[in-house]
Structure 1
Amino acid sequence: MSIDSKIIEPVRTSSKDFSHGHVLTGDADIAAAYANKLDGENAYSSKEAKRLRWKLDLRLVPILWFNVTLGAMDKVTTSTAALYGMKTDCDLTGNRYSWVGSAFYFGYLIWCFPAGSLLQKLPVAKTMATAQILWGIVLIGTGFAKNFETLIALRVLLGVLEAPIIPGNFLILGMWYSRREQPIRTGLMYTGLSVLFTGPIGYGIGFITDNGNWRYFFWIAGAMTIVWAVIVGIFLPDNPVRAKFVTERQKAIAIDRVRADQTGIENKTWKKDQMIETLLDPKTWLMFLFNIWISIPNGGLTNFAPLIINGLGYTAQRSTLLTMPTGIIQTVSSYMCNGGVFLCAKYISKCQLRGAWVIFGCIVGMIAAIFLYTLPLTSLKGRLAALYMSYFYLGPYIVALGMSTANTA
């Protein structure tokens, strides 16, 4: 029986957490006060739950999608700028450009754990919006950079500021959707459609005749990020209880829909025993290693794909446009792998085959990489097609991200 066709029994909790629907201590989940609002004659129908789910999809998924899209845009700013002279203007000789590309990930790695702690203690959406405003300011500042050292510092800082966004997105997703509903929303959230912005913007910059026209890319991306941060701060709720776009009854239904997962909605109390349990769980370290390995092609492709295409003989302007098919492949990969997980969960009882879809996506990307390496240098179209198919890695990456939330209560 699906979650939409029945009322989920309340999760058992101790008396110290809540009694008769009222929170008694700060240790209780904030949704505890809604525990008994749907009992008896107040029970909701599956039709009512579906209407609410559709309402959530229209409100939350587009915001979460653009959060990810902005981050993806930022990761190609340096590679697009490099086509228009950033390497010369900032003296990026030797392997300096590679270090600029890597600097972002150093900042991200350093701050990912503190960012998770901040999201645990502070309002999720407001924390994300604040980080995005600062991230936009850093992007604008990058447009004024004149040397290698400044670029390194700004890219590290940018990685720090982007660290709360992805975990924040997944926290929001987990507050509103059940585990069975999350894979398809994760797939919608993660696409390669950032190229629909970066491609045309990069192409348009090519018409600017000023010296240092590459700087405009950072200024435009930074301004977009700041504007979007304001939208996130206004329209993305921190949790269902504080959401203004749903009624009190809809809040209770939203909370009841995810109660069977026993993940709660939001609890600001840090629990040492949960941290120890997480660190001792082999799944934690397997997912940690997998995300490192799957990110290797991500870092290389985002930093060098436009330059690789340019090296195949295309102009800087045309190279920016030819990056757009990479986003199409990423989107197809995301929808195929996450859609497969969703369909398996729907039609094969108690089976989502997440691992199988991860393996499938990795094999496709690996075959593409082999062709890219072995095809002769004169086979420009073949090598370009292989480069595009290398972006299939996104599908298994996204499915793997969802595996951690799906296997954790």
Structure 2
Amino acid sequence: MRTVEEISRSCPECGAEIRADGRYVAWCAVCDWNVDPETPHQQQDRMERVRRALSSRHGEKLLAEVTAGASLRARRDASSLLAFAIALAVHGVTLALVLGGVWLLVRGWGGVGMVPGLLLLAVAWPLRPRGVRLPEADPVLHRDDAPELYALVDEVAGVVGTRGVDEVRVDAKVNASVMARGVRGRRLLTLGLPLWEILTPQQRIALLGHELAHFSNGDTRQGLVVSTAYRSLTTWHYYFTPTAEPSALEMLVNLLCIVPRLFLQGVLTLLDHLTLRAAQRAEYLADREAAGAASTEAAVGLMDRLLVTDSAAVALRREVSRAALAGPRGARTIEAEPQEIWERLRAHMASIPEYEYERQRRVGVRRGHSVDATHPPTHLRRTCLLVGPSAPAAVVTDDERQLRIAVELAGARVTVARRIVRDGFVG
């Protein structure tokens, strides 16, 4: 690991002394000079910008309500019911395309009249309700493979008022998620190993508590009907995206697509308006449940880790570059000892100074940093956790239990580390 270079200088604005790690931005904690020297990344997609703006607005309003003593407990309201009705209408259009295609196909059977029916069915196929396709290469841990991990998940699930999961997958993202798959609603927990590796034991419990709480906190957007309708609408919107640098014929097609594209964009925006408040409430409530499971201190620590996940991504990309520069022999050496990647990652994250966390918190206030467009800004989530008395940990683990879980994850750690080196980090 590189030697930390300490720098010392005077602030050009207020003259206060600045001491900083040379790997990170030098800034003044007194007057905020240079606290955010980078130009904020501008999303190219207009829908994404709208969603982030709505997310920040709803997040601030909900935080104000919580601070004033309002309950976060989820409830069905007119917006949720209207969103459900729109989702049913979306699926109804897809069903109409299928029925129309079948009718035309039967009516014109054996002749040219079959063509319109085939076209309608071809259009309906990609718009059908479907779940998220999961990468087949991700390691999957079943209960028999990881009984200690599943026992911890079950214990945390009991604290947040739900049941455990049916399957645990591990991937190379600095993230974690849950979902219900299929008509039977089989529960899936996906653990991003880079995130898991940089958390303390209690922060890992907070992460599990947050994710599992989504099964019981009434997030409309997570429901099967609304989530699949949202994906169908996004697919429609993609199909009507104008062609860049079009030919004369493509320019005509672009003009014909303007009205349906604007209509779909309007429906997507409306669905965002109707569901984002419930989604924001669900995130705040999941954070509260995480604090109840792991302690407020651990949940706040998880928020701070989320602020510096970019640093973890940089460290993993450095591993990829290290392997590439070393050539085939070096790559084989790294693949033969993949556990060293996780050791270096943990050492790197442990070396991040506290003033970099503080800078990221202040930058988050300015930019509205969030995990994605559906989450409230991270600084608001952190503030919400600190409102009211601190919660003690309901679930704790000792070193022996952590060691047993680490042994159960050993195979996944090797697989994911080798994939990062071989395919490059894209999480």
Question: Is TM more than 0.5 here?
Answer: no
The structure whose residues are more often helix, as a share, is: 1
Bigger CA radius of gyration: 2
The structure whose residues are more often strand, as a share, is: 2
Give the TM-score, by structure 1 length. Answer: 0.24
